[in-house]
Structure 1
Amino acid sequence: MSPVTLLVMLCIAQVLAMTSFANFAALLPDFVVLWDLSNTEAGWIGGIYYAGYVTAVPLLVGMTDSVDSKRIYLFSIGIGV
């Protein structure tokens, strides 16, 4: 695989991986109506999601010293999907 092809594939993978991160905030108004949520409940759901992200990132970044970063990246994408 050429370096250019690899770079393009990595960029596409990163964009697709980040869609799960950005989708919740964009869809939250629809979820509020669909699930009959109060603003407080919607805020809690969003807050818990981002608290999990903030908690996981330092742990996963620290693991890259001992585990192949590609495995951590693919594992994280798998969880996010």
Structure 2
Amino acid sequence: MAAGLIGFAVGRKGGRPALETRFACERVERAERYFERYASVAIGVGAFATIPEGYELLSIASGVLGLDFQLVSRETAHENRSALSPR
């Protein structure tokens, strides 16, 4: 959960340059489209990304794009609880 919230803070403070220096423009634009369409679902699904860079991209993008902090923290916590619960 902490990693997702740190990514959010980096995006909020660093703005778009925080994304563009780390990720290709195509990936940044794709993340923007995901957030436009799916918002909180993108954060939740990102927590289960098999590639850590995918979650990093979505976490930072959530801050850059100005998503609500409570929404981000709620979805991040929800996905972390789901991942830790016994199956």
| RCO higher in structure (CA 8 A, sep ≥6) | 2
Please classify the TM superposition score into its range, dividing by the shorter chain length: 0.3 to 0.5
Question: TM-score normalised to the size of structure 1?
Answer: 0.35
Q: Report which of the two has the higher share of helix.
A: 1
